[in-house]
Every structure is written in C-alpha cells, then in structure tokens.
Chains A and B, each alone.
Chain A
C-alpha cells in the first residue's frame, strides 16, 4: 500500500518537475500540461499495444511532449499571445489529437501486453511485485532528475533560468529569448508527457481525460515542496519538488481512505487541491510579510541603538 503511494508519487513527480520548469524556472504559466500528459499516455500506450516496445513508447511520449511544448511556445512567440492563452489553445487542440491517437476511443487498455511494470518484476526478481515497481520507478526518476539537474547547471540551462528572472538580461547578452522559451517549454512538456507514459503503464490504460486538472495538482506538489526547505541549488529544488509530489499523493490517499469520516468523496478532490494551492500561496505570503516585519523591527532597533550611542 505504502509502495503504491510512493510509486504514484514518483510518477507524478516527473510531471511536477515539468511544472517546476515552466512555472518556476521559466516563470511562464503554461497550461499545455493538461493536454500533453494525456498525449504522453496515449502515445506510449499505442506504441506498446502496436508492438513497438516499451523503450520506444517512452522515448516517443517524451518527444511528442516536446512537440506539444514547441507548439505552445511558437504560438506565444509568433503571435505575441500570452503564454496562458497559447497553452489553453494547445491543450484544447490536444484533446482531439489524443482521441485520434487512441483510435477514436476514450480509453485503451494495456492489460494484455507487457508494460514497464511487468519488466520491473523481472529486473528485481528478489522483491515482491509492488516493491519491484517502486525500485524500478525510483531508478527511473533518479535518472531523469540527474539529467535535469545537469542540464540546468549547464550554460544553456543557466541562461534559461536567467530568462525566467529577467528577460532583458538574455537580450542584452545576445541571446534570442524566443529560442530559450522553445527549449524550456519543450523540455517541460517532454517531462510531463513522459510522466503520462509511465502513468498509463502503471494504471494499465490510457484515458483521453487523464489530464484534467493536472496543472493545479502539479502546482500543489511544487508548492508543498517549497515549504519543506528553501534553497537556490537546482539539485535541492528538484529534490523538494519530488518530495512535494509524494506528499501530495499521500494526502490524496488519506483523503480517499479517511475522507468519508467527514463526508469527503473523490469528487471533492479537485476542489480540495485548489484550496490546497490557495492555502500554500497564503502561507507563503504571510511568511514573507512576517520576515519583512521582522526586518523592519530589527532596523528600528538598530537605529534606536545608534541614536542612543550618539547621544551618550
């Protein structure tokens, strides 16, 4: 059971990393996610069902995700549309595309074919199925995270991070921000689609409605992570994002298991997730205000002391 939560959390963490890239590193509110996560699931599923294999399925889901991000970034760059609107456009279009990929069906099952989670059992024969799933997912997530950390510590990754803070700096240093946005949003949606590809294999089916409300859930994970500790090192930022995703899934599990005691059903989860994000934002704001207040108090004390010193 605990393994199940961890596996779900880890798969969800890859998506949260994608959200981290768009919302935090690029500072772009990209809603493509709601579409691209289902696209990733659909692509991986159809590749595996049609016998192309698990590896090809995952690589394809990542690449198609990158493509989704490129579409959003291009709409934003070319038409000067706010990225929010560009993302909504892509997301809406993707809903139809996803149904096409799934052969005009709302969902496609993976029960009769071998998935990554069947392979994990053979990789770790000493462990039970659930522990093997956990170990396999963990290895996968660590691999993906290390790659992401390395990328954002490279010159190119640094430039993308700098653009999120201040676009003028990038222009002044002779870089085209449009290209950095293409790379950033591409990578973000690549991660999100990859997470979709894993999720489809874990739950055993791909669903055209998979992506609904995913952005808000991912944001909730990112924000929970930010409460854990503060840092400006990318490796710690990604780590806390992963932990946030696991905690989020844990909270949702508790909600499912004990929610009935207070009359909460899974139907309420979207509402609760939204409230969770609002609470996180409120607490973060209160914290900043408190530290500002603290700084002001200290400053006044310092001035008083100085004046006392000069009077004496």
Chain B
C-alpha cells in the first residue's frame, strides 16, 4: 500500500539552520494495516506525514502509494488516494460555508465545473451520512458554528466520502476535550473497520498506541527506532516500551507528553 524507500528530508540545507528532520527512512505498510506512530516532539513524525502527503518535496528517496510512484506529485494530486486529518479541527473544513456545501465539495475529488450538483437526491444521501454524527439537522448551518469535535467528525466523514487508499491521522483528537476526543476516536475506528482502510495515526498516548492497531512505530531524531507488529505488539506494555527505548537510545524517554498514558 505505502512504500517509503531511503527518504531523507533536510530543512534549510547549506545554512547554519540546517536540520535533518528525516534520515534514510524505509517503511512498508501493507493494505489494511493500522499503524500507530509515537515519538517525542521534533522526532520527525509530522515531517514523515508531510512527506507522505506531499506538503513538501523529499530531499532524496522515493515514496509510492498503492503501487504508484508519487514522489514528484504535488499534494493536491496525492489527495486523490491519501486522506489526511490534522490536529487543528479548522483545517479540514471551510468555516464560511454550510455543512452540506462542505460535504458536496468532498463528494467528488478534483477540479469542479460550472455545475449545480447539490440536488435533493444528494441532500438526502448527505442527511443519512450525517445522521450518525448528529449533524443531519444542521446541514444548512455554517461550519464555523460547529464545535471542534463536530468539525473534526465532519472532516473525518468528508475524508472517507471519496474512499481514499489510506488515511493519515495527525493527532486528530489532541485539540479536543476528552469526551469529544473519545467520540471522534470511536468514529475513526468505526470508519476504518467498515471501509477496511489502511491508516497511519500519530498519537501521544502510549497506552492507546499499544492497544489499537496491528503495528507500532516509534520515531526519534529522524529515525524509526522501533517497529513492532503482530504477536509481539499484543504483548507490549507501556513499561516494556519505555525500557526498549532506553536500551536503544541509552537515554531516558524524557518527553512529558510521551509518558502520558492516562
């Protein structure tokens, strides 16, 4: 599904601010895999996601999605097969447009024509889709009036509407209050299961990363330092994960957020 070969990303190359954000990353994700990505701030998680989504070009290396080399494709073209949800709930929807207009925007990917495709029939379809997230009565309200949780749920629905090959979830519940975070996470699990999506999810919650998905990746200083899957992952505990980190890095896993286990 996703194949990353020797990907390196250097920011501000040749200047005093030169920073190697990713170094020779190799990663292969199979169809149907659910990969949790953990690591402290600045470890390269977000850069990795930006490379996969195409926000910035890679310095070197190759990335292919669903058997297609996408290394030189701009972000908007990769959006046809990659659905991405950001931490910031305002990023995925347009605030000054209604819920139904946002849904219609996401209904078909790619450039739009001078057509009026929001028909009564399509409205009915949207109403049914919006029912489970409790927004079926608010279809004509501007998205700006919704809460962060509702917006993130809508973003999630919009991203799955076009059946992407894989989903990138970038701490997409971190900005929500605990109750809404739970609702959005349940919804995420439901969509992933129902539509058999391949997903990569950044999280700061180690316990969650251990409990959910069939694979866990830990990043540090631009490297993937741990890659645990299947049988081995099911036996994992927070303590054993922290111990493993110590063993590899010969240092303490100090980031406060990384230790949040709830």
Find residues 44-103 in chain A having any chain B CB closer than 8 Å to their own CB. Answer: none
Q: Is the CB of B94 within 8 A of A175?
A: no
Task: State whether A173 and B115 are in contact (beta carbons under 8 Å apart), knowing that A158-B97, A165-B94, A165-B96 are contacts in the complex.
Answer: no
Chain B nearest CB, measured from A73 CB (Å)? 16
Q: Is the CB of A176 within 8 A of B113?
A: no
Q: Is the CB of A162 within 8 A of B76?
A: no
Q: In this complex, what residue of A is CB-closest to B93?
A: A169
**Neighbouring B residues of A140 by C-beta, 8 Å:** none
Chain B nearest CB, measured from A63 CB (Å)? 18
**Neighbouring A residues of B102 by C-beta, 8 Å:** 162, 169
B-contact bits for A171-185, CB 8 A (1 contact / 0 none): 111111101000000
Q: Is A211 in contact with chain B by the CB < 8 A criterion?
A: no
**Neighbouring B residues of A179 by C-beta, 8 Å:** 111
Q: Is A151 in contact with chain B by the CB < 8 A criterion?
A: yes
Q: Is the CB of B84 within 8 A of A172?
A: yes
* Interface of chain A: mostly helix, strand, loop or mixed: helix
Q: Is the CB of A173 within 8 A of B97?
A: no
Chain A nearest CB, measured from B206 CB (Å)? 29
Interface centre among B84, B101, B113 (most CB of A within 10 A): B101
Chain B nearest CB, measured from A70 CB (Å)? 17
Q: Is A159 in contact with chain B by the CB < 8 A criterion?
A: yes
Q: Is B90 in contact with chain A by the CB < 8 A criterion?
A: yes
Task: State whether A175 and B114 are in contact (beta carbons under 8 Å apart), knowing that A162-B97, A168-B91, A169-B93 are contacts in the complex.
Answer: no
Bound: A169/B79 CA distance, A: 10
Interface centre among B79, B91, B112, B159 (most CB of A within 10 A): B112
Q: Is A290 in contact with chain B by the CB < 8 A criterion?
A: no
**Neighbouring B residues of A166 by C-beta, 8 Å:** 90-91, 93-95
Q: Is the CB of A172 within 8 A of B114?
A: no
Bound: A179/B74 CA distance, A: 14
* Interface of chain B: mostly helix, strand, loop or mixed: loop
Q: In this complex, what residue of A is CB-closest to B109?
A: A174
Find residues 143-191 in chain A having any chain B CB closer than 8 Å to their own CB. Answer: 151, 153-159, 161-162, 164-166, 168-177, 179
Q: Is B243 in contact with chain A by the CB < 8 A criterion?
A: no
**Neighbouring A residues of B134 by C-beta, 8 Å:** none
Chain A nearest CB, measured from B104 CB (Å)? 7
**Neighbouring B residues of A174 by C-beta, 8 Å:** 76-77, 79-80, 109-111
Chain B nearest CB, measured from A226 CB (Å)? 14
Q: Is the CB of A158 within 8 A of B104?
A: yes
**12 more A-B residue pairs beyond the given contacts A155-B105, A168-B92, A174-B109, with a C-beta to C-beta distance below 8 A:** A155-B113, A157-B114, A162-B101, A168-B91, A169-B102, A169-B105, A172-B79, A173-B105, A175-B110, A175-B111, A176-B74, A176-B111
B residues apposed to A, CB below 8 Å: 74-77, 79-80, 83-84, 86, 90-98, 101-102, 104-106, 109-117, 142, 159
Q: List 17 A-B contacts (CB under 8 A).
A: A154-B116, A155-B112, A158-B112, A159-B105, A159-B111, A159-B112, A162-B105, A165-B94, A165-B97, A166-B93, A166-B94, A168-B86, A169-B102, A173-B105, A176-B76, A232-B96, A232-B142
